[in-house]
Structure 1
Amino acid sequence: MPKIEDVARHAGVAPSTVSYVLSGKRAISEETRQRVLRSVRVLGYQPHAGARALASNRSNVVALVIPLRSGMHVPVIMQFAISVVTAARQFDHDVLLLTQDEGVKGLQRVAGTALVDAIIVMDVELQDQRVPVLRELQRPSVLIGFPDDAEGLTCIDLDFAATGAVCLQHLADLGHRRVALIGSPPEVYKRETGFATRLADGFKLAASRAKVAATVHPCEATPLAAHAVVATLLRDHPDLTAVVVHNEAVVEPLLAAFANAGRSVPDDLSVVAVCPDELAERAHPGLTSVAIPAEEIGRQAVNLLMTKLNGGLVPDDTLLQPRLVRRASTSKPRK
C-alpha cells in the first residue's frame, strides 16, 4: 500500500505539499497540484478519509443537484452526472446526487449540514428561485446553465443561443427559406428552462437576420407526438424544406414520420439535430449535428468548483462555443 511519502517522491515534492493538495488547506500552484494528483492516481494512493476530513474540516463530498422534472431526457442528464462524478474523483471527492425537486428548501437543507463542501446545480431556469439562496450560501457553488441574472454566480454551459443561430445559419447558407425548430417538450419552455429557451431565441434571431421564415414547435418526447408535429408542420407549411431538432428523444421517430409522409432526407428535407455524435452517426442518412459537450462541461464545472473551494479566482461566465459537424442530412433545397 503506497504511503504519502511514496506519492511525494513520485511527484518530486515534499510530503507536506501532497498533504496540502489533498486537504486544500493551502493554495498550491495548478501545475504542482496536477502533478501530485497524477502521482496519486498512478500509485493508487488512498488517503484515510476520516483523518483527511478531520484535518481539513471538510467532507470531501460535492452535491450535484439535478431535479428530475417532467420533460427532461434522462440519458443526457446522466452524461453530465457521470462526467461530474469522474472529475470529482480526480480531486478525491465523492458526489451526493440530489434528484428530488426540492427547490430552495433542498439547497438550504444540504447547505445547512456538514454533508457537502460545495454544490453544482443543473436544470437552471431563467427566473430560478434558487439563485438568491446560492448567492447567500457559505459554500461554493457552480451552475451548469445560466439564469437571466447571473451576477455573483459562477456559471458554465454550452452557448445555446449561438447553437440555435449556427444551426439556422447553416441551413440559410444552403438556401433554405422555410425552416422549423422542433424543440423540447412544452413543459420545458413553460418553466423557462435556460438551455431550451436560449436555443429557440438564438434560432429565431438568426432567422430574422437571414430573412428566413421560421417557427418553433415544442414536442413531447414520444413517437406519437413526433408524428403529430410532422403532420401539423406539413399541413401548415407545405413549403417547409428544413428542420432543426432540439429533442434527442424524438430524433428517430421524427425521421420515420417524415419518411412516412413522403419527405426524403436530404432531397426533400434537410435536417440538423442537436444531439450526441453517436446518434447523429447511426441515423440514416447521417445527421448534420451539434453535440452537447456534457463531458467537457461536467469536467470544467468540477474544476471551477475545486478552484473556488481552495480560495482561487474563477471567471463568472464560461460559455462553450457550438461545433456543427456537417453530414449527409443537409443539402441545398430543390428548385
Structure 2
Amino acid sequence: MITIKEVARHAGVSMSTVSYVLSGKRTISEETRRRVERSIAALGYHPNAGARALASSRSQVLGLIVPLHTDQNVPVVMQFVSSIVGAARDRDYDVLLLTDEAGPGEAHRVVARSMADAIVVMDVESADPRLAGLRDLDAPVVLLGLPDDHEGLSCVDLDFTAAGRRMAGHLADLGHRSVALIGSPPAVYERGTSYAERLLAGFRAETARRGTSATTHACAPGYDAVSACLDAVLEAGDVTGLVVHNEAVLGPLLLELRRRGLDVPSDLSVIALCPDDVAAALPFPLTSISVPARELGAIAVEMVLARIAGDLPPEVRLLQPRLTDRASTAPPQKP
C-alpha cells in the first residue's frame, strides 16, 4: 500500500506539504499542489479514511435510512439507493445503509459516533414519526419525500400531486369520462406513505375539476389480487381509462387485460407512473410519467453535501412530472 511518505518522496516535498494538499488546511502554491496531485495519481495513493476523518472532523460517509417493507417494490427502491450511492461516490463519499426500523435514534447514534456526516431519509410518511428526532439531529438531513409538516427540513421529491393531476388530465383531454386509479398496495396507504397519498389527492382533485367519473382501488401484488382489482374496476361502471400507480402490478395487469379480450388502448387506455425503463419494457409499452430515481438521488446528495459545506436554510424541491406518450392511451371508442 502506498504511503504518504512515498508520495512526498515522489513529489519532492515534505510529508506535511502532502497532508496540507489533501486537507486544504493551508495555502499551497499552485505549482506544488499540482506536483503533489500528479504524484498521488501516478502512485495510486488513497488516503486512510480513519486518518482523513480525524484530520478533517468528517467521516466522508452519508447515512441513508431505507426502512424495508414487504409491500415495497424492491427494484424501484434499489434504483434510488443506487443513484444515491453513485452520486455520493462521485463526490468522494461512501454511504452507510440503515434499514429495518432505523429511525431518528439510529441516525443520532451514527452521527454521535462520527460514523456519518449527514443523513438522507427515504420512504417518508405524511405524518412521519421520525421528524421530531430528525429536526434535533446535529447533522444535515435531507428527506427524499415530502411530509405534511416539513417546516425546518430540506426535502426533494417528484411532485406526486401534480403527477396525479397530469395523468387524470391526460385521459380527460382524450375524451375519457369514466376512469379508475389502480393504486399502491393497501399497506402503503395504511402506513400513510406520502407519495401515494399525494398522487391520490391530485388524481381526485383533477377528476372532480373535470367532472370525470372516477373510482380508486388499492391493489395488492400477485396475479389473483390484480384480477380481483380489475373485477372491481370494471364493475364500477363504464370505465375507459386506467391510471396505474403500482409498478409491481403492471405486467400482470396487461396479461389479465389480454386474457379478458380487452385491447389497449382501443378498449381501455392505460397510463402509469413508473420508471421509464419499466414502462418501455412491458409487452405493451405504456404511456407514463417517469419516476426520475437517478435525478432525485443525485439532487438529494447535492443538497445534503451543500449543507455539510455551509449553513444553508431548509428548502423543498419538487420535480415537475414528465409524460412520455407510448401509444397506450387514445380517445375512447364510441359505443
Taking structure 2 as the reference length, what is the TM-score of the superposition? Answer: 0.87
Determine if contact 1:125/1:192 at 8 Å carries over to the other structure.
yes
How big is each residue's C-alpha offset from its partner over 1:10-39, in whole Å with a ceiling of 9 and x where there is no partner? xxxx9957633xxxx79xxxxxxxxxxxx9
Q: Indicate whether 1:19 and 2:14 are aligned.
A: no
Q: Indicate whether 1:311 and 2:315 are aligned.
A: no
Deviation larger for 259-268 or 321-330: 259-268
TM-aligned CA deviation for residue 311 of structure 1: 1.2
Aligned-partner Cα distance in 2 for 1:177–1:187: 29
TM-aligned CA deviation for residue 128 of structure 1: 0.5
Question: What does residue 265 of structure 2 align with?
Answer: 266
State percent identity of aligned pairs. Answer: 49
TM-aligned CA deviation for residue 52 of structure 1: 1.1
Question: What does residue 293 of structure 1 align with?
Answer: 292
Determine if contact 2:10/2:39 at 8 Å carries over to the other structure.
no
Aligned-partner Cα distance in 2 for 1:41–1:209: 62
TM-aligned CA deviation for residue 73 of structure 1: 0.8
Q: Give the letter aligned to residue 194 of structure 1.
A: S
TM-aligned CA deviation for residue 118 of structure 1: 0.8
Change in CA separation of 1:42 and 1:174 when aligned onto 2, cut-off 3 Å: farther
Secondary structure at 1:180 match in 2: strand
Q: Indicate whether 1:185 and 2:185 are aligned.
A: yes
Q: Give the letter aligned to residue 187 of structure 1.
A: A
Determine if contact 2:84/2:297 at 8 Å carries over to the other structure.
yes
Question: What does residue 331 of structure 1 align with?
Answer: 330
Q: Give the letter aligned to residue 146 of structure 2.
A: F
Aligned-partner Cα distance in 1 for 2:288–2:305: 32
TM-aligned CA deviation for residue 162 of structure 1: 0.6
After TM superposition, list the pairs within 5 Å mapping 1:1-335 onto structure 2: 19-20=23-24, 46-237=46-237, 239-313=238-312, 316-335=315-334
Q: Give the letter aligned to residue 226 of structure 2.
A: A
Q: Give the letter aligned to residue 205 of structure 1.
A: A
TM-aligned CA deviation for residue 41 of structure 1: 12
Q: Give the letter aligned to residue 126 of structure 1.
A: S
TM-aligned CA deviation for residue 54 of structure 1: 1.1
Secondary structure at 1:171 match in 2: helix
What is the RMSD computed on CA atoms of the aligned residues? Answer: 2.6
Change in CA separation of 1:322 and 1:229 when aligned onto 2, cut-off 3 Å: same
Determine if contact 1:81/1:298 at 8 Å carries over to the other structure.
yes
Change in CA separation of 1:307 and 1:45 when aligned onto 2, cut-off 3 Å: farther
Taking structure 1 as the reference length, what is the TM-score of the superposition? Answer: 0.87
Aligned-partner Cα distance in 2 for 1:305–1:40: 31
Aligned-partner Cα distance in 1 for 2:184–2:147: 18
Question: What does residue 33 of structure 1 align with?
Answer: none
Determine if contact 1:134/1:141 at 8 Å carries over to the other structure.
yes
TM-aligned CA deviation for residue 214 of structure 1: 1.1
Structure 2: gaps (5+ residues): 12-17, 27-37
Structure 1: gaps (5+ residues): 8-13, 27-38
TM-aligned CA deviation for residue 70 of structure 1: 2.9
Determine if contact 2:7/2:39 at 8 Å carries over to the other structure.
no
Aligned-partner Cα distance in 1 for 2:331–2:40: 51
TM-aligned CA deviation for residue 314 of structure 1: 5.6
Determine if contact 1:172/1:212 at 8 Å carries over to the other structure.
yes
Aligned-partner Cα distance in 2 for 1:202–1:208: 10
Q: Give the letter aligned to residue 247 of structure 1.
A: N
How big is each residue's C-alpha offset from its partner over 1:29-87, in whole Å with a ceiling of 9 and x where there is no partner? xxxxxxxxxx9998866333222111111211111000002311111110111111111
Aligned-partner Cα distance in 2 for 1:42–1:152: 42
Determine if contact 1:88/1:302 at 8 Å carries over to the other structure.
yes
Change in CA separation of 1:93 and 1:3 when aligned onto 2, cut-off 3 Å: farther
Question: What does residue 30 of structure 2 align with?
Answer: none
